Amino acid sequence: MRQTVFLALQLFVAAALALTLARWLDLANPYWAAMPVWVVQQAYREDLVLRAVLRIIGTLAGAALALAVVRLGLPDVLTALVLALGVGCAAALAYWIGTVMSYGAFMAGVTLFVVLLPGFSGFSAATGIDPVAAAVDRIFCTLIGVACVTAATFAFTPRRVGQAPMRAMEGRARKALLRFAYCCAMTVCAAAAVIAFPRFDILAGAMTLIVYSMILSSAPDPRPIASLLVPAVLLGVCASIAYLFLLKSAGAEARQAAVLLTAGFLLAGAFLRAWPRTASYGLDANMCFLIVSEVGAWRHGTAEVTLAGIAVVCAAAAVSVSGRLLPAERR
């Protein structure tokens, strides 16, 4: 119990500090800075450091690739095809590597779609989002989040005893190819939806469709993740709607109320992530809460966020059902 409380406090401090720094630097998406806290934290110090480094490297690589695609000035359809191939390759490579080292490839794919999806001409014109500014924002938020979670947890994270478990090698090429095709198909569907309907709720659902198809594809056995996906996402979405409703009730101008309310939700999320029985739910719930409610940015009202939450849950359900068809490795 004491260890759980201590870890929760570490995660809370890291998330709150990252969000505060991102807001202080006036970054467009400050909630991005808090996201690495829930993912980079690991049970062993070696994995923590490696994951932190790989998140930075993968983000830089994905941002560079995304900016290269933007510089080409391709039509939306060709950009969508390039995006699908990039995401598919990242997911397949992450699965092929299969250890903690796969995180860099995974993050490259994530950064690629985070920058390119809102950059489609219709969505960019409707929202004024600049892909170059989004890429720079993503890099700064990643650096802030990684620095905060590493500083808050490194000294209290134990070293690994023994070696990390090995993974099966048989049939890995065929399974990687299937995962490539699956992620390509999901990305094409997501990109087509954003191009056809350039709205916040559609973008939220599209990003969910891609990121969770990548997560399931990167896993040796996607079924355990798929079984927990919808409840965790639903929890995060409900928390987002409740958070914005309370924020609006307190008055958007009441800065102190906003700070206290945000701190309360971050603390609850930290305990959810730190408690062993809820840790698997806590990761996805916290990520969805940050993304859907846009903590620190608050660009959309409760009605828009509710629509976005519905789209996110539907996308998670689609991935949960289809992802179970991916072949699993035998340990």
Query: Does 145 have pLDDT greater than 80?
Result: yes
- Tell me if 116 is assigned to some domain: yes
Q: Model confidence at 162, in pLDDT bands (50, 70, 90)?
A: low
Q: How many residues does the chain have?
A: 331
Write the burial class of residue 73 (CB in 10 Å: 0-12 exposed, 13-18 middle, 19+ buried): exposed
- Tell me if 119 is assigned to some domain: yes
The conformation of residue 101, written as its DSSP 8-state character, comes to: G
- Tell me if 164 is assigned to some domain: no
Total count of domains within the chain: 1
Structure tokens that stand for 82 in this block: 């390039």
**Cβ atoms within 10 Å of 61's Cβ, excluding its own:** 18
Query: Does 166 have pLDDT greater than 70?
Result: no
Question: How far apart are the C-alpha atoms of 172 and 169, rounded to whole Å?
Answer: 6
Write the burial class of residue 125 (CB in 10 Å: 0-12 exposed, 13-18 middle, 19+ buried): exposed
pLDDT of residue 130: 81
3-state secondary structure of 201: helix
3-state secondary structure of 220: coil
Q: Model confidence at 161, in pLDDT bands (50, 70, 90)?
A: confident
In a 13 Å sphere around the CA of 133, the CA atoms on its Cβ side amount to 9
3-state secondary structure of 160: coil
Please report which residue ranges of the chain form alpha helices under DSSP H.
2-24, 31-40, 45-72, 76-97, 103-116, 121-127, 131-153, 172-196, 200-218, 223-250, 255-274, 279-293, 302-323
Nearest to 313 by CA among 282, 292, 283, 286: 292
Domain of 17, in residue numbers: 2-157+171-323
pLDDT of residue 2: 85
pLDDT (tens digit, 9 = 90+) per residue, 226-285?
999 999 999 999 999 999 988 888 765 567 778 889 999 999 999 999 999 999 889 999
- Tell me if 293 is assigned to some domain: yes
- Tell me if 299 is assigned to some domain: yes
Each as own residue / partner, the long-range contacts of residues 98-102 (CB below 8 Å, 24 or more positions apart, any chain) are 98/167, 98/172, 98/220, 99/164, 99/167, 100/47, 100/50, 100/51, 100/54, 100/164, 101/50, 101/54, 102/218
- Tell me if 330 is assigned to some domain: no
Check if the beta carbon of residue 20 is closer than 8 Å to that of residue 33: no
Tell me the Cα Rg of the chain: 19
> In percent, how much of the chain has pLDDT > 90?
74
Check if the beta carbon of residue 142 is closer than 8 Å to that of residue 59: yes
- Tell me if 163 is assigned to some domain: no
If phi over 0 gives left and psi between -120 and 50 gives alpha, with beta otherwise, what is residue 98? Answer: left
- Tell me if 166 is assigned to some domain: no
Q: Model confidence at 21, in pLDDT bands (50, 70, 90)?
A: very high
